[in-house]
Amino acid sequence: MKSALQIARAAYKPRMPLILNQNVKTVDGQATESVSDRESIKALFPNTYGMPVVTFEADNDHTEHRQMNVGVILSGGQAPGGHNVIAGLFDGLKRLNADNMLYGFLGGPAGLVDHKVMELNAAIVDEYRNTGGFDIIGSGRTKLETVEQFEKGREICNKLNIKAIVIIGGDDSNTNACILAEYYKAKGYGIQVIGCPKTIDGDLKNSMIEASFGFDTACKVYSELIGNIQRDANSAKKYWHFIRLMGRSASHITLECALQTQPNVAIISEEIEVKRLNLSQIVDGIVDVVVKRGNAGFYFGTVLIPEGLIEFIPACKVLIAELNDLLADNDEFNNLTNDEQKRNFIINRLSDESRDTFVSLPANIARQLSLDRDSHGNVQVSLIETEKLLIEMVTARLAALKKDGVYHGKFASLGHFFGYEGR
């Protein structure tokens, strides 16, 4: 039994370009060029590089197109709108030819390799129109990069007479799509591979893509949550809220949410990198705002922090690189029995700059950098709770200012992470 909200949501008709409300034909335009590294990219993709821009024009010829089967894959993290991409693909196929069929590969690219697939009919697609998530067929992070995988994909495509695969994913997924397309083109298999840019991070864009789908909705969800916290903070007037926002490789989400919610502090990773600020300088900037507001009688506020901040701080970037080199497959380090021994082992082997950075970190963050590593021995930066790092350092700096008689106010803080709520 569906609720009134579910019924209303399912009935919503997304606005589309006017050209797509009529019969269309494709028109080839100028050859495309990569923004940089043209020769090296052309050498890697000799069969698919320089393909023309394809645009749509109205088609007054109402003849039915040849029957075609298409496969679709959801790859990587969820983004609002994924289900509607599939719904739009389904509607477009059926409009061209009622006998066209759409197949969904289950669990991401692994479904193509493992031959886990289902037909997506009108009843299934209609259940997921205008809904969030990627649960219609599931998603995954399997990389398509080996000839064996490509051939497995060809087998299932031939079996189901699939002539095109649409991969809905981010930068990694579209890179994999390029490699798959190049392989199939070189082999002459007659299987098209189409990439659909997807990421809530908003960092997949060019002159033809104003924003990847999912970014706008995610930012609005996060901004609503931030606004709720700001309203609460302005009511209670006793907490500083440090809010880390998803977006490891870019600060677009943090910037957009800052423009929508006007926080007291918004840290932009790219700005930190350009100005070559260190962690201490970032903390100084936050402390300065806290002190000024405290002296005015305001002991509350909000600080927005991008998820990947640590990787943009030049000194931290150098430290992470040194830790990766030092700790990967280091039996001497791994055989040490306690945290203090491991800390001293690291300190004695770092460069002077990295040693100063490492020592300045709170003990729990330094421990996390040295102990939490992935299967390749690299530091797992994404696991670092940056909001807690800044809270701890700001608290310590304010305590020192209080001791020196510079600051006489209060400081209480709460940390938050907004990520999965917006996907």
Q: Coil, strand or helix: which one is 221? A: helix
Instruction: Name 230's bridge partners.
Output: none
Alpha-carbon distances of 205 from 41, 170, 198, 209, 212, rounded to whole Å = 19, 11, 10, 5, 7
201: annotated active-site residue: yes
Distance CA 209, CA 19 (A): 17
Q: How many residues in the chain?
A: 423
* φ, ψ (nearest 5 deg) of residue 164: -155, 145
Distance CA 30, CA 282 (A): 46
Among residues 387, 101, 345, the alpha carbon closest in space to that of 243 is found at: 387
Listed in sequence order, the DSSP H helices in 264-362 are: 269-275, 279-295, 309-312, 314-327, 331-334, 339-347, 352-360
Q: Which of 201, 203, 288, 404 is catalytic?
A: 201
Tokens of 55: 């645009």
Which residues participate in catalysis according to the annotation? 201
